[in-house]
Structure 1
Amino acid sequence: MRRKGRKQKEVRTFPNVFHGNLETISESVQKYFNNNQPVVLELGCGNGEYTLELAQKYPDKNFIGVDVKGSRIWTGAKKALNLSIINAAFIITYIDRLFLVFKNPVVEEIWIPFPNPFPLRKSIKQRLVHKRFIDVYRKICLPKARIHLKTDDETLYNYALKVIEEENLKLIAATDDLYNSEFYKDELKIQTKYEIQHLHDGKKIKYICFSLT
């Protein structure tokens, strides 16, 4: 617990980590990147595997990992600083408050790799593909923005497909067995620590890509 507390405190001193007043974070992030490159988010980023890998692959875009726990972000933020990955940053906040950070639609892509599936019925509203989060994405995303979901959880996978249909969103790709599908290439080969564990346990990885329009 003491180590976790130390990370919580230390990560808030990193120049690539933003927290606090959400109304001013957008300006601070813009000043940090100092460019007008496209913005890509990793939600519930944890160690920020996607943020870091994609930032190195696409230096002409800005990547931002978002998580409510600073101790989770610490690893990715520290690695980004050590490797001088200048187009990667992190925000400590609740995802449903991102519309306070991005007051205008600027996000061109969102990655949601292995989020908490919140299996209990009483927790459905916490799923990152629930309608209340879709409404947030509509506020911060550009019209053709793509949203990617990777999960091992069948219930979450089926729920996401249901929301896409009910909200009249555009389904671009879907598979309940990513590693044996035509979609397993490029960015989808990036693995989080959870994905590695799920594969070790013999679970199939599911993938959905959709856009808001």
Structure 2
Amino acid sequence: MPGGDQGAAKKPETGAAGGWVTVSSGALANLSTMLRWGAWLLLVLGVLLSTTAHLRLSAEAPRTAQPPAKATPASGEAVGPGGFAVLYVAAYLEAGRGTEAALARYFPNMRNIRLEAKAGAQHAEQLAAVQVEHVSTGYWSVTVAGRVTAAPSATEERGEEQAKDKDEPDQAGTLRYFQVPVRTAADTDGYVATALPAEVGAPETGDGVELNYGSPVPGDAKDETAATTARFFSAYLAGAGE
């Protein structure tokens, strides 16, 4: 019936034609899975980046925070500066007026210095480098010991003056110490001094070495082992006995 057709309720239209977009349950599941995997991927990526940055900082920290180690020369490297200082001190002690050029080979600035003492007034012997300290790269501080004696000619020229000073302690033949600053020469493989030798006190000596031996116990004369050992060392060291 027409009237019945008109009175019947119309069903609402679905889909795009009715103004609504419908998504299937499978599509929603796929979208949820993609979002979940994306979140996990971002989380793992963040952990990897943080770990990489931490390892990089840990590897670079020792290089920036650790101070540079002081160069320590080998024992053979001290021979050169020590020998040079010994020759320099020997020439310096015997030099004087008119012989300044002989020191220029050791101390280049000696060309501008004039000595007041008489050349050959004293003589040095038994010279030795007793301390070689490595100050920095290419620089050393050497302490040279030597027994300095007055030349016979100088002693005779003093005459009565020496007799007047006889009550004073004689410094001839005394052991004296001189400190010499040495550096590597820039243009050669040798060494040069940076100043004149300066007389200093004797270097400090360390404490003696204490051996961890027990109290000595005399051997028993009746002990055959002790008697045999004593006879052996008497013959071997002193030539007494067989």
Which has the greater radius of gyration? 2
When the two structures are superposed, what TM-score results if normalisation uses the length of structure 2? 0.18
Q: Under a length normalisation based on structure 1, what TM-score does the superposition of the two structures give?
A: 0.20
**More strand, by proportion:** 1
Q: Which has the higher contact order (CA 8 A, sep 6+)?
A: 1
